[in-house]
Amino acid sequence: MSSTRNKITVVGAGQVGTTVAQLAAYKNLGNVVLIDIVPGFPQGKALDLQESGCLQVFDSLITGTNDYKDTADSDIVVITAGLPRKPGMSREDLLATNAKIVRSVTEEIMKYSRNPIIIVVSNPLDAMVYLAKKVSGLGKDRIMGMAGVLDAARLRTFVALELGCSQTDVDAMVLGGHGDSMVPMPRYTTVSGIPITELMEPGVIDQLVDRTRKGGAEIVQLLKNGSAFMAPGASVVKMVEAILKDNRRILPCTAYLEGEYGWSSIFFGVPVQIGIHGIEKVIELKLTEAEQAALDTSAKEVKKTINEVDTLLDKN
């Protein structure tokens, strides 16, 4: 990392990107560059955020831009760019469209930043992190995806609401791909160290697990026009903070596997320790046969999507 104030670039000035920029500034994590393809859009968001600095007491400089030159020498880059799936759009169309966007963004970032840590948020998440790694040429320690922190936060929230306890006392672990095949882990979800399997009936736990899997869809259904952005943005900033402050936090993130959990050459949601150099190690949990089977099912889905990304790269 540079000896001066940290530089955080956020690609995409939509609601998730703006939330990331706002929370990173409010936590004084560094100067923030907000970049988007729409002229004036990131500049307006950046100026609005800068003007809140004297009220929220931060000294960070916020830059809005359409030019990747302004992202030069970034310490961390958060990629939120990409399209949401629209009515009538097939999964394959979404993959092809966002693959083009993420590929282009990654190429531009790497022109101006030699060795950043990249956090990908764009969907389909696991495949987009894989694509960004191939395009960037970065080591597996310096590129990761945000999914598990968000999914675990949703499970933590639902557990706290069910038990009527403080959310801060709840820790949760969610493994696997970011989607319907994710694997929430009740045995590794605790309240002040007590597994929720000791505090709830199995049927209640099953309901909370199901709600966690459908957490994003539930918000989309309620909003009617839009998707979650506050919790996703906060999840990204938790990762950014852990890296820049070298907290060496153990968090569920989308990381590159080389044999862990029985899988290789895929990005997958697992607990990792992260600090100033990015991902320091992948932590392997002891799983039951049922848990491993669920994880394998999720990994097969992720592997299929990654193979499709490889096909797209070969065509281009």
Identify the active-site residue in 133, 178, 213, 303.
Answer: 178
Q: What share of the chain is helix, strand, coil (3-state, %, to 5)?
A: 50, 20, 30
Measured from the Cβ of residue 307, the count of other Cβ atoms closer than 10 Å reads: 13
Cα distance between residue 250 and residue 16, in whole Å? 23
Distances in Å between the alpha carbon of 249 and those of 4, 68, 197, 246? 23, 30, 25, 8
Cα distance between residue 78 and residue 173, in whole Å? 23
Number of Cα atoms under 13 Å in the Cβ half of residue 91: 9
Q: Is residue 178 annotated as a catalytic residue, yes or no? A: yes
Cα distance between residue 177 and residue 174, in whole Å? 9
Measured from the Cβ of residue 193, the count of other Cβ atoms closer than 10 Å reads: 7
Which residues contact residue 1 at a Cβ distance below 8 angstroms, ignoring those fewer than 6 apart?
A: 75, 244, 276
Q: Which residues are catalytic?
A: 178
